[in-house]
Structure 1
Amino acid sequence: MSVVVLYDSDDVAVATTPMTAGEPLALPEVPGVTLRDDVPAGHKVALRDLPAGSPVRKYGQVIGQALADIRAGEHVHVHNLGMPRDAAARVAGGDGGPAPQLPADLRRTFHGYRRPDGRVATRNYVGVLTSVNCSATVARKIARVTEDDAEGLDGVDGVVALTHGTGCGMADRGEGWDVLRRTLAGYARNPNIGGLVVVGLGCEVNAVAGLMADLGVAEHVPVSSYTIQELGGTSAAVARGVEQVRGMMRDLAGATRTEVGVEELVLGLQCGGSDGWSGLTANPALGVASDLLVAAGATSVLGETPEVYGAEHLLAARATSPATAEALMERIRWWEEYTGRQGTTMDANPSPGNKAGGITTILEKSLGAVAKAGRSPLVAVRHYAEPIPRPGLVFMDTPGYDPVSVTGMVAGGANLICFTTGRGSVFGSRPVPTVKLGTNAELASRMTGDIDLDCSPVVEQGVPLEEMGRRVYDLLLDVASGRRSASEELGLGGEEIVPWQLGAVL
C-alpha cells in the first residue's frame, strides 16, 4: 500500500513511499482518485476536494485550513495548508479510548543501582558541576582526564562535566535565576549521580557557597567544592578536580545492580527531527510502552510545550483533576504570550527538516507528538526542572529544543530518556541514557549507528502497534539494566546539558 489513512474522518492520506503524478490512490474509500502531483514519502495527499478556508483533518483532528482550493489527489503541504484563523477550530474530539491493560507476561523488573535513600539509578556517574560558564573548561578537562579511569572500574559508568552557559551577568533573583538554580540542583540530586565535584570561578553571581547551600544532595553522595581563583588558576583547579574525581570513583567501584521493580523508572519522552512518519510509527509505539510502564507503577514525563500546542485539549481531557487541566492550559497561555513578545508565533516551531519530512503546521506536529504519551491519565503538570512526582503520566513545561527539554527532565529526576526521530538526531544525554527510536526504514538504515530500534515495520510490515510497543518497552528495560544505548556507544551526551535561559543577560 502506497498511502495510509489514519482515521475515517481524515481529509488526507500519508504517502508511505514516493509517489508520482498520475498514479491512482487505490483506496476503496475514495475510488477514482488519481495523484495530480508528485508526493514525497511521509507527505500528505488530499482525499477529496477541499474549498479554500475549509478545515483539513489528519489524526481525526484539525491540522490547518486550506489556503486555496485543494482538489482530490493534490499534494497538501505548506503551499496550500496553513494555520486556522480561528484557534478554536483546532479543538475537537477526545483522547481516543482507554489505556491498555497490563499483559500477563509483561516484564515487571529491571536491574538498577539501589541507593541508600531508596531511589534507583540506571547509571552510576561522578559529576563535575559548574556554578558558572567561566569554570566550564576546567570541568571538561577534569572529565576528559578521568573518563578513561572509569573503563576499568566495575560499577562506575563514567564521569560527566555538568556545564552550562550562564551563572553570571544575570540577576540574583527572578525567573531566570530560579530556573538555573533549580536545574543545577536537580542534576546534583539525580539518582544517576554517585559522586559530585562542584567547581566555580570565585567571583560569579551564582557563587559556589550559595549554590552548595541549596543543592540538597543526599547524605550518601560524596560532594566537594572549590573555586579556581582560590586554588591559584586553571592548572591547580584541574589537578584538584582530577584527584577528587578519582577518589570518588574508587569509592564507587564495586557497586552492583540488583533486581528492582519497573515502578522505579522515571522515563522522559522526547522527539526531535520529526517527520511525517513520526505520528504513525515511533511516537505511538513509544506511547504504548509508556502506558505499560505507567500501568505497572512507573512514571513517564511528556514535555515540549510548543509541540503539544493544538493538541493540549487531548491531554487536558485526560487530566485527573480540573486543577491539573487548568495548570496545562495556563502554560499554553504563557507560551502564546511569550512567543508574541518575541515577535513570533507558535506556528514558527516546525523546522525546515520537519517540513521536508512532511509536517506542515504545528497542529499536525503536535498531534503526532502527543502520541508519545499514550493514553494514560495526566496526573500532574510541573514547571521546568521541578521535581517530578511519582507515579503516573506527568507533563513538564519545557521548550521544544531537544537539549533544553531533556535537561529539564533530567533535572526533574528522570533516570531514562526515550527519543524518537525521523530526520535523524544524534542526541545523547549523560548521566541519564537516551534510547533512540527511528520512525522510518531509510533513516534507520542510513544512520544505523545512532538508532536503537527501527519502528517502521508498523507501516511497512503491518506489525501491530501493541507489538512494537512491547519491543520498545523491553528495550527500555534492557538499557535501564545496563545495556549501552547507541548514543552511549558513540560517547554522546556530554555537550547536551543546556538549561533553559530566561531573563536578562546583564
Structure 2
Amino acid sequence: MTDQRTDALPGVLLLRTGDDVAVATRALEPGDEIAPDGTPVVVTTSVPRSHKVALRDLPAGAPVHKYGQVIGVTTEPVPAGAHVHSHNLVFEEGERTHELGGTHTELEIPAGPRPTFRGYRRADGRVGTRNYIAILTSVNCSASTAKMIAAQFPDSALEAFPNVDGVVALTHQSGCGLVPESEGGALLLRTLRGYAAHPNISAILVLGLGCEMILTSQLSTRSGAGAGPEILLGMPTIGAPRPGNELLADIPADTLVETMTIQETGGVRASVRAGVEAIRRMLPEVDKRRREDVDVSELVLALNCGGSDGYSGITANPALGWVSDRLVAYGATSALAETPEVFGAEHLLTRRARTPEVAQKLLDQIEWWKGYAAAGGGSLDNNPSPGNKAGGLTTILEKSLGAVAKGGQADLSEVYDYAEPMAPHAGFVFMDTPGYDPVSVTGLVAGGANVVVFTTGRGSVFGCRPAPSIKVATNTEMYERMSEDMDVNAGRIVDGTATLEEVGQELFDLVLAVASGEQTVSEELGIGVEEFVPWHMGTVT
C-alpha cells in the first residue's frame, strides 16, 4: 500500500485516488460539505468519526473500493454523502489474483551507525529482552499450585535480585484428556516447549500433576552436547494439507531447569514449599545475568492488533509497518500473524513472497481456515467484531486490508505454523494464528518473539509476559481517555500533528528502549500472565 494518502483533509481522508468512500476524521452531519478529491459532496446522513462516507452515487450490488481494493458490495442504492456501513454494505469474497511472488521492495538502511540495544545473550546465540523465571505447567491440574508458588515472589520479594524481571506462572486449561498424537496435542506441546526455550526465560520450574498425558520430561529437553534425539511431530490435517514434521526447539544450555510433580512431592502444600525452595535456589544464579550491547538484528518483533477501528489501517498499523521495514532492513525478524484477519488481503502478501513456495504456504493456510471455520459452523466473514464495527469497520475485507499494513512493504521470506520456532534474522515472516489476541501472541512468543507491538483503536489492555508488549493507540480520543494503558499515540497522524514517519521513528526508538529494559505500561501494571493462552484444538477424550 505504498500510495496510501494520509494527508489531513477537511473532515475526511481519501486513502486512494478513485476510492468510492472516504473516512471521516470528525463526526459529519447532514449539510456538511466535503471535497476530498476536489469534487464537492454534501453529507446527507450522520457519519460517526472513523466511519465511511460515500463520495459518489452507488447502485445496489456495486463493489465499494477503499485502499484501492474492494471491501464489499452495496445492498441498496447509496447516494453520495451517505454513511456507508453494515446497513448498506456486505461481504462478498469476489475474485482476487494471487501472484506467487515477483514483487520486490528494496529497503534502504539509513546512513550512520547501526542501532543497538542492551539484551541478554543466551547460550544458543539468541538474545533475550527480559530475564524471567517461569513456572511452566504441563497440565491444568497443576495450575493452582503454580500460581501459589509464584505468589510468594511479588516484586517486593525480588528487591535483592534487581536483574530478575519476575517469577511468572504460565498456566493453561489443557495437558490431559486430549489425544497426544492429535494436532491439538502437538500444538500444545510445541507451544509449551517454545516458552521453555524462550530467550527471555533464564530458569524454569516444570510442574506437573504426575498422571497427565503430557509429561514434564517432554518439556525439558536440552540442546547442545549430550542432548537427546530430535523430536519430530507429524501434524495431521483438518481440511487442506498443512506443513508437518515441525522440529521442536530445545532449551538453551544456560537455562536452569527443575522438574517436579505434585503426586510425587506429596500434594499441593508440599509442592508449594518445594517449588518456593527451588526458585530461591535459582534466583542468585539468574540475577548474575547481565545485559550487553547487541545489534538491532537480534530483535524478533511480533506484530499484532486488537480492538481495531477505522483508523487502524491509516495510523498505527502503517506506522508499525514502517518500523517492521526498518528492522527487516537491518536484518531482524518481524512476524505478522492472525490468519483470519489477512483473509481478503492475502494477495497483497503472496505477491511479495520471495518464492512461489512461500506464497503457496500462505494460501494453503487460508484454505485450511476456510475448512476449519466451516467445520465449526462459521465462516471467515464472521468478522469484524461488534467493537470493530462500532469503530467503523464493516467487513473482514476492510479489516484485513488495514491489518496487513502492519507488515510494511518488505518481501515475505517465510510462513510458519503456530508456535513454530522462527529462524533468527529471518526478515519479514508470517505465522499462522487465530485472530483472538491472547492466542495469537502466545503463538508468536512461543516462536521466539522477544518484543511485541500491539495496535488498538477501541482500547485493548493487552499485556504479555515474558515478552514486553508496546501498545499503540490508533486515535487521539481513545489515547486521551486511556492514556495510562497506552504507550504511543498514533492518532496524531490523522490530527495532522505528526507524520507517519515521525510516529514510526518514535515507535522504533521505543522498541529499542523497551528491548533494553524500559518498562511498558502493561508491565508497570503487572499485566501479561493471564494472557498466556495456547491454541486449543483437537479431540478431547
Q: TM-score by structure 2 length?
A: 0.90
1:20 paired to 2:29: yes
Q: Is the 8 A contact 1:62 1:91 kept in 2?
A: no
Aligned runs of 1:281-300 on 2, under 5 Å? Answer: 281-300=315-334
Q: Which of these residues, 414, 424, 430, is aligned with residue 449 of structure 2?
A: 414
Aligned runs of 1:195-344 on 2, under 5 Å? Answer: 195-213=203-221, 216-344=250-378
Alpha-carbon offset, residue 146 of structure 1? 1.5
Q: Is the 8 A contact 1:280 1:368 kept in 2?
A: yes
Q: Which amino acid aligns with 1:113?
A: Y
Q: Is the 8 A contact 1:270 1:402 kept in 2?
A: yes
Distance in 1 between residues matched to 2:478 and 2:161, nearest whole Å = 36
Q: Is the 8 A contact 2:479 2:486 kept in 1?
A: yes
1:387 paired to 2:395: no
Pick closer, same or farther for the CA change 1:196–1:485 going to 2, 3 Å: same
* Cα offsets for 1:34-55 (capped at 9, x unmatched): 1111111100000011111111
Aligned to 2:460: 425
* Structure 1 unaligned spans of 5+: none
Aligned to 1:137: 144
Alpha-carbon offset, residue 339 of structure 1? 0.6
Alpha-carbon offset, residue 116 of structure 1? 2.7
Alpha-carbon offset, residue 330 of structure 1? 0.2
Alpha-carbon offset, residue 30 of structure 1? 2.1
Q: Which amino acid aligns with 1:45?
A: V
1:9 paired to 2:26: no
* Cα offsets for 1:202-255 (capped at 9, x unmatched): 111112234435672112111010110111111111111111112111111132
Aligned to 1:126: 133
* Cα offsets for 1:384-426 (capped at 9, x unmatched): 0001123201100000000000000010011010000000001
Alpha-carbon offset, residue 27 of structure 1? 3.1
Aligned to 2:241: none
Aligned to 2:392: 358
Q: Is the 8 A contact 1:200 1:208 kept in 2?
A: yes
1:397 paired to 2:405: no
Q: Is the 8 A contact 2:98 2:351 kept in 1?
A: no
Q: Which amino acid aligns with 1:224?
A: E
1:498 paired to 2:506: no
Aligned to 2:226: none
Q: Which amino acid aligns with 2:70?
A: V
Alpha-carbon offset, residue 91 of structure 1? 7.2
Aligned runs of 1:147-158 on 2, under 5 Å? Answer: 147-148=154-155, 149-158=157-166
Alpha-carbon offset, residue 142 of structure 1? 1.1
Distance in 2 between residues matched to 1:503 and 1:489, nearest whole Å = 36
Q: Is the 8 A contact 1:112 1:257 kept in 2?
A: yes
1:76 paired to 2:111: no
SS of aligned partner of 1:126: strand
Distance in 2 between residues matched to 1:72 and 1:91, nearest whole Å = 32
Distance in 2 between residues matched to 1:140 and 1:241, nearest whole Å = 11
Pick closer, same or farther for the CA change 1:438–1:400 going to 2, 3 Å: same
Q: Which amino acid aligns with 2:186?
A: D
Higher helix share: 1
SS of aligned partner of 2:366: helix
* Structure 2 unaligned spans of 5+: 1-9, 222-230, 232-248
Q: Is the 8 A contact 2:14 2:36 kept in 1?
A: no
Q: Is the 8 A contact 1:99 1:291 kept in 2?
A: no
Pick closer, same or farther for the CA change 1:355–1:118 going to 2, 3 Å: same
Q: Is the 8 A contact 1:381 1:395 kept in 2?
A: yes
Pick closer, same or farther for the CA change 1:99–1:419 going to 2, 3 Å: farther
* Cα offsets for 1:144-189 (capped at 9, x unmatched): 1123332431211111111111001111212011100000000000
* Cα offsets for 1:255-304 (capped at 9, x unmatched): 22111000000000000000001001000000000000000010000000
Aligned to 1:111: 118
Distance in 2 between residues matched to 1:75 and 1:489, nearest whole Å = 41
Q: Is the 8 A contact 1:99 1:374 kept in 2?
A: no
SS of aligned partner of 2:42: coil
Alpha-carbon offset, residue 349 of structure 1? 2.1
Q: Is the 8 A contact 1:420 1:436 kept in 2?
A: yes
SS of aligned partner of 1:449: helix
Q: Is the 8 A contact 1:62 1:90 kept in 2?
A: no
Q: Is the 8 A contact 1:111 1:481 kept in 2?
A: yes
Q: Which of these residues, 164, 172, 186, is aligned with residue 194 of structure 2?
A: 186
1:177 paired to 2:185: yes
Query: Between the two proteins, what is the percent identity of the paired residues?
Result: 54
Distance in 2 between residues matched to 1:475 and 1:425, nearest whole Å = 19
Pick closer, same or farther for the CA change 1:289–1:240 going to 2, 3 Å: same
1:47 paired to 2:55: yes
Q: Which amino acid aligns with 2:361?
A: A
Alpha-carbon offset, residue 9 of structure 1? 2.0
Q: TM-score by structure 1 length?
A: 0.97
Q: Is the 8 A contact 1:4 1:15 kept in 2?
A: yes
Alpha-carbon offset, residue 113 of structure 1? 1.0
SS of aligned partner of 1:437: strand
Q: Is the 8 A contact 1:291 1:373 kept in 2?
A: yes
Distance in 2 between residues matched to 1:453 and 1:472, nearest whole Å = 7
Pick closer, same or farther for the CA change 1:119–1:413 going to 2, 3 Å: same
Deviates more, 1:393-402 or 1:242-251: 242-251
Deviates more, 1:200-209 or 1:390-399: 200-209
Deviates more, 1:145-154 or 1:487-496: 145-154
